[in-house]
Amino acid sequence: MDFHGSAFHTENPRGTGNWIGVGMDASKAAPKDGTSAAPSSSNRSADAPRPAPIRLGSVPAGAPEPSEPATRPARRGPYRKSQQTRESILAAAMEVFRIRGFRATAVSEIADRLGLDQSSIFYYFPNKTELLLAVMRERDRQADVLLEWMMPRSLSEMPDLLIELAARNAATPGVIELYTVLAAESITPDHPLGEYFRDRLKRVRDGFTVWFRWMEENGALRDGVDPALAASSFFALWEGAQLHWLIDPPELDVVAHLRHFLSLVLRDPIVST
């Protein structure tokens, strides 16, 4: 998560939004007609304080932005076709990276899936590293759109939001697999996403700490619960439970484990199912 850089705001806070998984689909966000569709059972209050802004979108400092084609096409039919090709490349790359990881992936395999040659891939992305960064940016962008819409406006909605995010992750196992494979691979020397994942982990921990402190300040945490420790424990449980779930889905219910943890640290039970 990205707190608008590394800073986050605690006075009259407002929020936006892990890849706690990455498993968010922006197409399932707010209805196109502009009506609200809150994810939890609580009623929202427009003027209620909200926790600090949290975003996923982040790449290693100084990393290049995805390259544009040398000649920008006209913003009509050719432009739309170019965008569609780029999106198809990102979708195919995400699937291959999920299966093989970064190091074992060959750009030629991505091209073969689309019936293209490698030069077509390199027209949009000069190298495999930049293609991987573009995949991560796109997943983060989609997650941020959804989390912007979902962010609670009242304290009572916060636990329900956390459970809702976990439930949505469970509906997108392929995306969680991508995150898990690349996160594990990133601990190896000179991996292009090493800094990306180190920064992400810190931002997510910090973000959860802000949220849990917000709940503590409003009397939602049980006496004696340290918000920073509760936040890091919740995050570690979520990450670990997702890994176990990927290995043996029928044996572990991630949502049930997170709900149980929250029942141990919160004064009031979670309302939504």
The domain segmentation of the chain, as residue ranges, is 61-151, 152-273
C-alpha–C-alpha distance, residues 86 and 247, integer Å: 32
pLDDT at 236: 96
pLDDT at 77: 65
How many alpha carbons fall within 13 Å on the CB side of residue 216? 16
Helices and strands per DSSP (H, E), number in the chain: 9, 0
Beta-carbon contacts of 182 under 8 Å, excluding residues fewer than 6 positions away, are: 97, 101, 102, 132, 136, 193, 197
In tens digits, what is the pLDDT along the chain, a chain of 273 residues? 332 222 222 333 333 233 444 343 434 433 334 444 433 333 333 334 555 444 444 443 343 343 434 344 445 567 788 899 999 999 999 999 988 888 899 999 999 999 999 999 999 999 999 999 899 888 888 777 776 776 666 777 878 888 888 888 888 788 888 888 889 999 998 899 899 889 888 988 988 898 899 999 989 999 999 999 999 999 999 999 999 999 988 889 999 999 999 999 999 866 544
Beta-carbon contacts of 270 under 8 Å, excluding residues fewer than 6 positions away, are: 159, 160, 163, 259, 262, 263
Asked if 176 and 21 count as a contact pair (C-beta separation under 8 A), the reply is yes
Q: Which CATH class is domain 61-151?
A: mainly alpha
Pick the CATH number of 152-273 from 1.10.1060.10, 1.10.540.10, 1.10.357.10, 1.10.3720.10: 1.10.357.10
pLDDT at 98: 86
pTM: predicted TM-score of the whole model, two decimal places: 0.65
pLDDT by residue (tens digit) across 138-184? Answer: 888 877 777 677 666 677 787 888 888 888 888 878 888 888 888 99
pLDDT at 75: 52
pLDDT at 203: 84
C-alpha–C-alpha distance, residues 75 and 7, integer Å: 37
Long-range contacts at 127-131 (CB < 8 A, ≥ 24 apart): 128/102, 129/192, 130/64, 130/66, 130/67, 131/89, 131/90, 131/93, 131/107
Nearest Cα neighbor of 104 from 138, 123, 128 is 128
pLDDT at 50: 55
Asked if 272 and 40 count as a contact pair (C-beta separation under 8 A), the reply is yes
pLDDT at 89: 96
C-alpha–C-alpha distance, residues 33 and 114, integer Å: 34
C-alpha–C-alpha distance, residues 233 and 119, integer Å: 46
Q: How large is the C-alpha radius of gyration of the chain?
A: 20
C-alpha–C-alpha distance, residues 77 and 216, integer Å: 54
Nearest Cα neighbor of 155 from 256, 234, 42 is 42
pLDDT at 36: 40
Nearest Cα neighbor of 5 from 52, 51, 58, 50 is 58
- DSSP state string for 13-53: ------TTS----GGGSS-TTS----SSSSPP-TTS--PPP
Vertex 257 angle, CA 214 and 206, to 5°? 35
